[in-house]
């Protein structure tokens, strides 16, 4: 999947990215909000939450008169209900969360779908380089850079240990 746009700043239900038209079961459509949750010592996880699209669940009267509001003696169509007297109210279902990973980013693919990409603790330096090249310019703060540096140190240590084991094995006396 191609990375068309990296999504930043979606870290909670309040700041979530919202997919306006998302399938719900076989026939209904709903909204889905998506964000990346971060917890120290645990890492990142991808959280999604769908709205309840059942008829009647997400429309409430907006309270204006016949869909119109009066502004300085002039009747204009209510911006909340666009004239139909109802506003959309989202009843959100329970959120669903992935497992935690060391580092993650959200992005939109070519179909405008939200995807996420991850780095695990066992990422190799090649994985880390590729991830940094792809997403590094969009990192918001220092945290991602610190995690990348830490993952790189872990990967280098692991490589060094493997190399040492290989050397030891090749020089071991034959019995
Ligand atoms: Zn209204």
Q: What is the pLDDT of residues 19-50, one digit of tens each?
A: 988 998 888 888 899 999 999 999 999 999 99
Res 175: pLDDT: 61
Under the banding of pLDDT at 50, 70 and 90, the label for residue 64 is confident
User: Residue 94 C-alpha to ligand 1 middle, in angstroms?
Assistant: 28
User: In angstroms, rounded to a whole number, what is the distance separating the alpha carbons of residues 81 and 63?
Assistant: 10
Q: For the residues 95-113, what does the mean pLDDT come to?
A: 96
CB under 5 Å of ion ligand 1: residues: 62, 64, 78, 80-81
What dihedral do alpha carbons 153, 155, 156, 160 form, nearest 10°? 140
Report yes or no on whether pTM surpasses 0.85: no
Residue of 29, 8, 27 lying closest to 19 (CA atoms): 29
Q: For tokens 């405008």, what's the residue? A: 112
User: Residue 58 C-alpha to ligand 1 middle, in angstroms?
Assistant: 15
User: In angstroms, rounded to a whole number, what is the distance separating the alpha carbons of residues 22 and 157?
Assistant: 44
């Amino acid at each position: 999947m191609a990375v068309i746009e990296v999504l930043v700043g979606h870290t909670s239900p309040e700041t979530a990215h919202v997919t306006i038209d998302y399938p719900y079961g076989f026939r209904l459509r709903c909204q889905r909000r998506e964000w990346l949750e971060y917890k120290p010592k645990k890492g990142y996880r991808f959280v999604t939450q769908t709205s309840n699209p059942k008829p009647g669940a997400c429309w409430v009267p907006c309270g204006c008169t016949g869909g119109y509001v009066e502004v300085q003696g002039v009747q204009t169509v209510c911006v909340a209900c666009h004239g139909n007297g109802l506003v959309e109210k989202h009843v959100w279902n329970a959120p669903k969360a992935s497992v935690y990973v060391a580092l993650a980013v959200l992005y939109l693919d070519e179909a405008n779908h939200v995807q996420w990409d991850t780095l695990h603790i066992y990422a190799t330096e090649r994985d880390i380089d590729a991830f940094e090249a792809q997403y590094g310019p969009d990192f918001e703060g220092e945290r991602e850079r610190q995690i990348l540096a830490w993952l790189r140190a872990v990967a280098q240590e692991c490589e060094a240990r493997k190399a040492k084991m290989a050397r030891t094995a090749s020089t071991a006396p034959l019995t």
